[in-house]
């Protein structure tokens, strides 16, 4: 390889490293929220009102978090989870106050998006469990939004 090519290769590697570092350093829960909202988009057309408020943070691979949320019988809810790390795999599941899986069978996981659908049988507290199943990053930002109709 001639000298010019070597310099070019090194410069491109350096540039690539800087770009990767920048993405890692500046990625945030807000980015994750954008992805969660992206997952929610098709449901808005079906009449779901997506809340402005959301949950967020970062998790290591295999780590899980839970949040308790008040749900009302008569409403129908979707919870959408997203991360900006596109090679990550995430999941979200919903349990009732007795610890029984409460989600509908159409809940789904697709790489760095996941969604859980619940039609509460009773009004009360439910547990939403989010998880980063797999990720190339040490810590993976995540955000969870929800909508109802």
Partner 1 sequence: MMLFSKHLKSFVAAVFGIALCAHGAQAPQHININQLSTTVEDVVVPLPNEIFGALNKLGSVNWKEHVRSDKGPNFTERPRIALLLGTVIADGFIAVQAEDAPTVKEIGQRVLALAKGIGVGNSITPHAKAIIEAADKRNWENVRQELDRTQNSVQQAMNEVHDEKLSQLVSLGGWLRGTEVLTSVVKQHFSADGAELLHQPDLLAYFQTRLKAMPEFNLPIIHQIQDALVEVKPLIDVGSAHIPAESVKKVNEITSRLGNGIVTRD
Q: Which residues bind partner 1 (CB under 8 A)?
A: 29, 49, 51-57, 61-70, 72-75, 89, 91, 93, 95, 97-101, 103, 109, 122-125, 127, 129, 131, 133-134, 146, 148-149
Nearer CB in complex with partner 1: 6/64: 64
Least distance (Å) between residue 78 CB and partner 1: 13
Nearer CB in complex with partner 1: 3/53: 53
Tokens for 23?
């993405």
Distance CA 37, CA 46 (A): 15
Distance CA 60, CA 104 (A): 27
Nearer CB in complex with partner 1: 55/78: 55
Least distance (Å) between residue 96 CB and partner 1: 9
Residue with tokens 């599941």: 93
Distance CA 103, CA 117 (A): 5
Distance of CA 38 to the CA centre of its chain: 10
């Amino acid at each position: 390889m001639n000298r010019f090519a070597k310099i070019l290769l090194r410069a491109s590697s350096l540039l690539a490293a800087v770009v990767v570092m920048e993405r890692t350093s500046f990625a945030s829960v807000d980015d994750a929220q954008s992805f969660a909202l992206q997952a929610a988009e098709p449901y808005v057309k079906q009449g779901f009102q997506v809340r402005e408020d959301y949950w967020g943070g970062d998790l290591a691979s295999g780590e899980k978090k839970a949040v308790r949320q008040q749900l009302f019988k008569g409403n129908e809810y979707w919870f959408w989870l997203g991360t900006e790390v596109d090679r990550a795999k995430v999941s979200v599941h919903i349990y009732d106050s007795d610890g029984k899986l409460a989600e509908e069978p159409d809940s789904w996981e697709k790489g760095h998006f996941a969604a859980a659908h619940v039609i509460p049988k009773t009004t009360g507290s439910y547990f939403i469990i989010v998880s980063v199943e797999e990720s190339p990053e040490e810590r993976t930002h995540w955000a969870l939004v929800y909508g109802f109709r």
